[in-house]
């Protein structure tokens, strides 16, 4: 029988040593296994959780070990992460089981001589945790501070303190503090460290949302409506294999987070129009646009990566959508969306354009935990340049009085306001069209007219979006 902790170790080794993305490494180790759903869940939790809490776990190794985390053999460090993660964050796993299985993991992976070190470090954490719990119980609940009754020793400097406690890089903490202040930054960090939910977008061209809701409940899957989103259902609790849920093969629904569904509603495409999705893959918003148009009109789905566009085509086929046309290439260099029949006057062809720009993804850190360790301020700067170039080209495709929606799933102002404001200063014919006061978007709207979805406030992925109108 396959050992779930060994599989987690193999996946984490790929992530830490070979730079693999956590979801790809996890899929690789689970692909040909015969695990129970509980063991698959354990592997998934250990991989995502350990990557997510990497900074906190390193701080514990620094505190408890004779050698700092960066001085440990890389694979031993990974094994210690797995053990400490279970002890600290997995209440359902008995401490003795967490310690013993981690010691065995060390022995099985070439560290038999250091098994005593692993045992000693984990037992030391367990003793400190027990002592902290006893101390906490001696204090009235209203006077308790979780940070003051914890084995982890925290830095005194506020940014670093939050970064170690919640396991984020200091520069991200600083950015959020500047936008939100201390209390909301803590709330955001806590939200981004939660296990993500799954949202479904019902395809109204195939089925009514009531039917999907009933089918899910009949299959023992608990789902809830999402306010302000007529096609959204949130899966409560585990869903198992998504493709085995009722209606998947029939094209009744697709997986899409609620905030991503907001983007296509903001675009508000109409039947018969020409719509361009400039960065379309893997196609969640493209297929949503087709559904909102009643699959009547033309949608050009563009992306630089052909492999991701194939996923879009597969989804469109499953959802039985016919109006999507594929174009592979870099949208910064597309000229075919400007009508050149008259050489004297080149006319744009699109009624609406969606630019869901490549971004740092900081609004989706709960789904993609390794992003926090991959993205740097330099990455953000490079992305903002790319976003500005894409916006310039996409704007040239929009007819007079047409609409362009710019969207990202990041919470970094340099990629959001920092891209839109300079564009508007350069192009006076473009204006922000803020949502009306009775619009579902008014809850997310800022005084400037753009829309910001903060995850901890609205319980969905972080997003920025703005609707621009071309008024020459």
Q: Using CA atoms, how far apart are residues 200 and 223, in angstroms rounded to an integer?
A: 9
Residues contacting residue 406 through CB under 8 Å, at least 6 positions apart = 355, 357, 391, 419, 420, 465, 466, 468
Closest by alpha carbon to 276, among 341, 285, 384, 441?
A: 285
Residues 279, 302, 409, 428: which is the catalytic one? 409
Residues contacting residue 218 through CB under 8 Å, at least 6 positions apart = 246
Q: Using CA atoms, how far apart are residues 83 and 390, in angstroms rounded to an integer?
A: 45
Judged on CB neighbours under 10 Å (0-12, 13-18, 19+), 20 is middle
Length of the chain: 472
Q: Where are the alpha helices (DSSP H) in 148-271?
A: 158-166, 170-180, 182-192, 209-218, 258-267
Residues contacting residue 312 through CB under 8 Å, at least 6 positions apart = 280, 281, 282, 283, 286, 287, 301, 303, 324, 326
Residues contacting residue 362 through CB under 8 Å, at least 6 positions apart = 172, 371, 375, 409, 410, 411, 412, 462
Question: Residue 219 CA to chain centroid, in angstroms?
Answer: 27
Q: 142 to each of 109, 145, 146, 186, 386, how far by Cα in Å?
A: 46, 9, 11, 19, 50
Is 359 known to be catalytic?
A: no
* Active site residues per annotation: 409
């Amino acid at each position: 029988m396959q050992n779930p902790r060994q599989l987690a170790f193999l996946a984490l080794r790929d992530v830490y040593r070979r730079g693999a993305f956590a979801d790809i490494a996890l899929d690789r180790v689970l692909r040909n296994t015969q695990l129970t759903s509980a063991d698959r869940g354990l592997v998934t939790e250990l991989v995502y959780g350990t990557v997510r809490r990497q900074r906190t776990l390193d701080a514990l190794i620094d505190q408890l070990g004779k050698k700092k985390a960066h001085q440990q053999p890389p694979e031993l460090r990974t094994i210690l992460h797995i053990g400490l993660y279970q002890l600290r964050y997995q209440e359902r796993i008995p401490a003795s089981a967490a310690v013993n299985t981690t010691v065995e993991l060390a022995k099985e992976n070439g560290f038999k001589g250091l098994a005593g070190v692993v045992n000693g470090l984990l037992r030391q954490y367990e003793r400190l945790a027990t002592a902290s719990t006893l101390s906490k119980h001696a204090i009235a609940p209203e006077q308790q501070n979780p940070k003051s009754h914890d084995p982890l020793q925290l830095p005194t400097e506020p940014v670093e303190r939050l970064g170690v406690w919640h396991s984020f890089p200091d520069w991200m903490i600083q950015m959020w503090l500047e936008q939100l202040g201390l209390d909301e930054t803590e709330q955001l960090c806590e939200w981004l460290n939660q296990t993500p939910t799954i949202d479904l977008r019902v395809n109204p061209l195939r089925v009514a949302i009531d039917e999907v809701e009933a089918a899910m409940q009949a299959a023992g899957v608990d789902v809830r409506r999402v306010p302000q989103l007529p096609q959204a259902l949130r899966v409560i609790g585990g869903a198992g294999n998504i493709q085995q849920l009722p209606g998947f093969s029939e094209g009744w629904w697709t997986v899409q987070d609620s905030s991503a569904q907001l983007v296509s509603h903001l675009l508000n495409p109409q039947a018969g129009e020409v719509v361009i999705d400039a960065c379309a893959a893997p196609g969640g918003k493209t297929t949503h646009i087709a559904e909102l148009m009643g699959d009547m009109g033309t949608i050009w789905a563009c992306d630089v990566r052909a492999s991701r566009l194939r996923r879009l085509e597969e989804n469109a086929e499953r959802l039985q959508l016919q109006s999507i046309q594929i174009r592979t290439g870099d949208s910064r260099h597309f000229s075919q969306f400007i009508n050149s029949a008259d050489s004297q006057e080149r006319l744009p062809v699109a009624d609406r354009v969606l630019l869901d720009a490549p971004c740092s993804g900081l609004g989706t850190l709960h789904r993609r935990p390794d992003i926090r360790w991959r993205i740097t301020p330099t990455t953000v700067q490079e992305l903002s340049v790319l976003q500005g170039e894409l916006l310039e080209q996409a704007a040239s495709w929009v007819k007079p009085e047409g609409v362009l929606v710019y969207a990202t799933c990041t919470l970094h102002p340099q990629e959001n306001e920092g891209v839109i404001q300079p564009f508007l200063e350069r192009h006076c014919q473009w204006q922000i069209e803020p949502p009306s006061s009775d619009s579902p978007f008014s809850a997310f709207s800022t005084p400037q007219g753009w829309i910001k979805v903060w995850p901890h406030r609205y319980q969905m992925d972080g997003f920025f979006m703005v609707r621009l109108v071309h008024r020459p």
